[in-house]
């Protein structure tokens, strides 16, 4: 009707700034708050589903992670950034301020999700001896590193607090890693200098094989974490090996000392070559066991003094 079509608000030349508000500020704020409250529950649920799928589809089924560009890969970073990006995109259609609130909400949920994820992974890995622990340990460190990078570059987020949370998670994962490594290595280390070990009933590569179950996966972990951890593994094995050798033992005759020296040199070569091949740059550790082996196997006092001198030159802190 003319009455309806002639209304001033429907005229083409109407000025939008003069139109009355469809919603009062109070109503608008209530709608935004209700929207954020609803989204909070959904995002918490989405993050929970990510964890649930990791448990059911990866950990329980012992599915090994993919390797991309020589790094163990997990979809965690991509999935989380997709959730954040999609919710921000939808929210920014309504208003830019709502988009920023959505980002803040996602980050708050992420502050809770990362520790919860870490606790679940630690609990799962502690409860069983699984061959996929070390690969996923590396994959998750890689993925959370990618997540921090994505938050900084794509979403312009200050990740300082998240980095602290990630550092704590990394420490916990490392503790489990070394606990599992010790569980595998200690029984073999304790056999050093026993009768069976001296007579050669133990394979010379048995210790190296046990260590490699963990160390071999570190070459697929992002730097510098992977390299630092491999250095720690190398240092741990050499230190523990020497500690077993220098424990007070029964006296050995010359022939036995020679056998022990040869066995130590053989195992040291296998261990060091394996760890160097896997990427260890701890060359300073290489001569340690050999020095001790040479001292044990030598009969002449003058030669023993020379070997001790060489040992002290390479490792002056042992004096």
Per-residue pLDDT tens digits of the chain, which is 319 residues long: 555 555 555 565 556 666 565 666 776 677 778 888 889 999 999 999 999 999 999 999 999 999 999 999 999 999 999 999 999 999 998 888 899 999 999 999 999 999 999 999 999 999 999 999 999 999 999 999 999 999 999 999 999 999 999 999 999 999 999 999 999 999 999 999 988 898 887 789 999 999 999 999 999 999 999 999 999 999 999 999 999 998 877 788 888 899 999 999 999 999 999 999 999 999 999 999 999 999 999 888 999 899 899 999 988 876 5
Among the candidates 148, 178, 208, a domain finishes at 178
Q: Which two tokens stand for residue 35?
A: 């929207």
Residues 235 and 167 in one domain: no
Q: Which two tokens stand for residue 158?
A: 């200050």
Residues 235 and 299 in one domain: yes
224: cis peptide before it, omega within 30°? Answer: yes
Collapsing DSSP to helix, strand or coil, 1 comes out as coil
Residues 149 and 49 in one domain: yes
Among the candidates 120, 155, 178, a domain finishes at 178
Q: Which two tokens stand for residue 166?
A: 């990630």
Query: Residue 74's closest CA among 117, 24, 11?
Result: 117
Please name the residue that has the structure tokens 């954040």: 84
* Residue numbers of the domain that contains 101: 30-178
- Sequence-distant (6+) residues with CB within 8 A of 200 are 263
Phi, psi values for residue 72, rounded to 5° = -65, 135
12 within some domain: no
Q: How many domains does the chain have?
A: 2
Angle at the Cα of 244 (from 243 to 248), degrees rounded to 5? 95
First CA to last CA across the chain, in angstroms? 105
User: What Å distances lie between residue 312 and 143, 248, 308, 309, 317, CA to CA?
Assistant: 43, 21, 6, 5, 8
């Amino acid at each position: 009707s003319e009455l309806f079509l002639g209304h001033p608000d429907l005229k083409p030349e109407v000025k939008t700034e003069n139109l009355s508000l469809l919603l009062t500020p109070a109503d608008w704020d209530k709608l935004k708050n209700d929207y954020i409250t609803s989204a909070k529950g959904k995002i918490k649920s989405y993050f929970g589903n990510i964890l649930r799928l990791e448990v059911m589809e990866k950990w329980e089924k012992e599915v090994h992670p993919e390797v991309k560009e020589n790094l163990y890969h997990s979809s965690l970073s991509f999935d989380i950034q997709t959730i954040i990006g999609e919710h921000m995109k939808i929210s920014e259609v309504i208003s830019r301020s709502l988009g920023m609130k959505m980002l803040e909400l996602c980050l708050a949920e992420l502050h809770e999700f990362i520790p919860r994820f870490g606790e679940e992974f630690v609990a799962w890995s502690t409860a069983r001896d699984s061959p996929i622990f070390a690969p996923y340990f590396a994959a998750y460190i890689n993925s959370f590193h990618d997540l921090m990078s994505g938050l900084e570059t794509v979403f312009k987020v200050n990740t300082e607090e998240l980095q602290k949370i990630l550092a704590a998670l990394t420490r916990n994962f490392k503790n489990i890693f070394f606990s599992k490594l010790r569980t595998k290595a200690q029984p073999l280390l304790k056999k050093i200098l026993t009768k069976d070990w001296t007579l050669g009933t133990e394979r010379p590569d048995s210790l190296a094989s046990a260590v490699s179950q963990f160390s071999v996966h570190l070459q697929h972990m992002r730097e510098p974490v992977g390299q630092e951890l491999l250095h720690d593994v190398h240092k741990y094995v050499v230190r523990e090996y020497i500690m077993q050798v220098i424990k007070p033992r029964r006296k050995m005759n010359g022939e036995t000392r020679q056998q022990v020296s040869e066995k130590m040199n053989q195992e040291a070569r296998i261990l060091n070559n394996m760890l160097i091949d896997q990427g260890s740059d701890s060359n300073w550790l290489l001569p340690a066991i050999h020095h001790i082996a040479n001292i044990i196997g030598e009969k002449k006092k003058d030669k023993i003094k020379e070997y001790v001198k060489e040992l002290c030159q390479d490792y002056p802190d042992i004096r």
